[in-house]
Homo-oligomer: A and B are copies of this chain.
Amino acid sequence: MNKRVGNQTVRLESKPRIISTATIVGPKEGEGPLRDYFDTILQDDLNGEDSYEKAEKSLLYSVITAAIKKANLKEQDINYLFSGDLLNQIISSNYAARDVDIPFIGLYGACSTMAESLGLASMIVDGGFANHAVASTSSHFSSAERQFRAPLEMGSQRPPCAQWTVTGSGAAVVGTEGNFPYVTYVTNGKVKDYGIKDANNMGAAMAPAAVDTIKQHFMDTGRTPDDYDLIATGDLGKIGRKITAELIKDYGYNMDNIYIDCGEEIYDAEKQGVNAGGSGCGCSAVVACGYIYKNLLSGNIKKALLISTGALMSPTASYQGESIPGIAHAVAIEFGGDKNE
């Protein structure tokens, strides 16, 4: 059966369920406006490890195993683990995968990884290839800063458009049965590049990719912003969110009343000194697996569109004069009846 809808979208008729999620965040994220939606808030962002990289891996491992436990499943019940992260060679994911007994599909989508992994897990379950699959990702402020920008010890000043990498990790277990929020559509994005070269202006680098995927999702499905209670981009921050909200209007879609950006919501930017907002794979992961999932479960919202956005930034490519391409993947998650249909 052909499941394609329009140019870039697939419809998942079997409605693969997100039967559980788990989230963990660092102390800073635990002081932000969404703190009540996270399962675990760390007191110390090293989480008892002796490096930030090992700490990030421990976060990811903890949510993968917690989500499986919440779903009343065992590792053997999970047929695939889809995971990726920001670190070179996705070491958080590789080493977390080493510690669980689950076939592993490693991904790299930068900060688009939550929607990339959730979309793939949902398709694989919908296609009958898995009874259960886990989608997950992580990021850590301190491991990301020293890899992508400068060692924290340098104390570099951050420009107003800079974003703050979220310390956090989220995981979701996708399965075939039960009364849980379910995935209906997946729209995978193309790589878009509008020539941004500033590693401190990720929101602007990612916004065109977000717009491209969102308008394609609407065109493919025939849906409009009115069909959704919530549309959430991953980590554009306040600057990228404004760009996206305006650019999408050129295609005739007005998302003003229902559109949030996970990176803008996760911090109180002024009080917490995070400039343009949060970023990192963990940003849309903990907001999707925490805030959005729990609001779907409780019936506060019925249809959500998650668009995780990735800046495909590379120090090596930047040194060689390249601009920063972006990508965005969208997943429609719904629960409890139709809003407009």
Contacts and interface: CB of A to CB of B under 8 A. Distances in A.
Interface of A: 1-4, 7-8, 10, 50-51, 53-54, 76, 79-80, 84, 87-91, 93-95, 97-98, 101-110, 116, 120, 123-124, 126-131, 147, 188-193, 312-317, 320, 322, 325, 327
Contact of A107 (B2, B3, B4, B106): B106
B106 A108 contact: yes
B80 A128 contact: no
Given A91-B314, A189-B104, A314-B89, A4 B325 contact: no
A316 B51 CA distance: 10
A166 B37 CA distance: 48
A330 to B, nearest CB: 11
A45 B8 CA distance: 35
B127 A116 contact: no
A90 B108 contact: yes
Contacts of A127: 3, 123-124, 126-129
Contacts of A312: 89, 91, 94, 106
Copies in the complex: 2
Contact of A4 (B93, B129, B147, B313): B129
Contacts of A7: 76
Given A91-B317, A97-B191, 12 more contacts: A2-B131, A4-B131, A10-B129, A54-B320, A88-B89, A97-B325, A103-B188, A104-B188, A104-B327, A106-B312, A106-B327, A107-B107
B80 A188 contact: yes
Contacts of A130: 4
A192 B103 CA distance: 10
A290 to B, nearest CB: 25
A233 B84 CA distance: 24
Contacts of A108: 84, 89-90, 93, 106-108
A316 B315 CA distance: 15
A116 B107 CA distance: 10
25 contacts: A1-B128, A2-B128, A3-B127, A7-B76, A8-B79, A10-B129, A53-B320, A88-B314, A88-B315, A89-B312, A89-B313, A94-B314, A94-B327, A95-B322, A98-B191, A98-B325, A103-B188, A104-B190, A105-B107, A105-B188, A106-B107, A106-B312, A120-B120, A127-B127, A127-B128
